[in-house]
């Protein structure tokens, strides 16, 4: 990482946007002024369309790989930005949405339903999800969104199994 010295400053500071921040903000999408988490989740929805065509084993492998990348870059970006979970870091929402879509049928209806459930659980953060945010570094940034994704997927499965009209 290259750093530069500000005029009259004795500390070295990271550049305004590092590679980690670029990936963690999903190319800057996380910097939108209104609802950056929703914007990141929508990127996750778009990514789910090709992932769902792969079948669930490859989809799962891709999500695990994306999750590992997310932990690394989210932790680095959070450190650079000086906040434990900066709102601009949305790669965790992309991962959480991809988790929510695991083994879904490739239908817009199902993807829309898990998107809404994921956003609900990501915003409301029912117990014990908030405890996951206390994990160190990128693990804390990503873990709560993975849990929200798992909860969204389980909830949608339970609703579909128990209500024939869904």
Q: Output the pLDDT for position 161.
A: 94
In-domain check, residue 97 = yes
In-domain check, residue 43 = yes
Exposure letters 110-141 (e unless 16+ CB within 10 A, then b): bbebbbebbbebbeebeeebeebbeeeebbbb
Total count of domains within the chain: 1
pTM: 0.88
Q: Output the pLDDT for position 120.
A: 98
In-domain check, residue 91 = yes
H or E stretch at 150: helix 137-162
> What does each of the 166 residues of the chain score in pLDDT, given as a tens digit?
444 444 544 455 455 589 999 999 999 999 999 999 999 999 999 999 999 999 999 999 999 999 999 999 999 999 999 999 999 999 999 999 999 999 999 999 999 999 999 999 999 999 999 999 999 999 999 999 999 999 999 999 999 999 988 7
Of 148, 26, 116, the C-alpha closest to 77 is: 26
In-domain check, residue 6 = no
Burial class of 14 by CB neighbour count within 10 A (0 to 12, 13 to 18, 19+): middle
In-domain check, residue 2 = no
Q: Output the pLDDT for position 15.
A: 52
In-domain check, residue 111 = yes
Q: Output the pLDDT for position 166.
A: 77
Q: Range of 128's domain?
A: 15-161
In-domain check, residue 7 = no
In-domain check, residue 120 = yes
């Amino acid at each position: 990482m290259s750093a530069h010295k500000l005029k009259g400053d004795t500390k070295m500071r990271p550049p305004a946007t590092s590679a980690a921040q670029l990936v963690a903000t999903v190319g800057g999408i996380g910097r939108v002024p209104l609802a950056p988490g929703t914007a990141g989740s929508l990127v996750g929805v778009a990514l789910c369309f090709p992932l769902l065509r792969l079948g669930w084993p490859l989809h799962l492998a891709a999500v695990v790989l994306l999750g590992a990348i997310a932990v690394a870059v989210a932790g680095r970006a959070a450190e650079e930005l000086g906040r434990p979970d900066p709102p601009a870091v949305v790669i965790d929402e992309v991962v959480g949405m991809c988790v929510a879509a695991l083994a879904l049928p490739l239908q817009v209806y199902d993807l829309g339903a898990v998107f809404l459930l994921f956003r609900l659980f990501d915003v409301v953060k029912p117990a014990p999800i908030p405890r996951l945010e206390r994990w160190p570094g990128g693990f804390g940034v990503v873990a709560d969104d993975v849990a929200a994704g798992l909860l969204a997927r389980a909830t949608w499965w339970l609703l579909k199994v128990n209500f024939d009209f869904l």
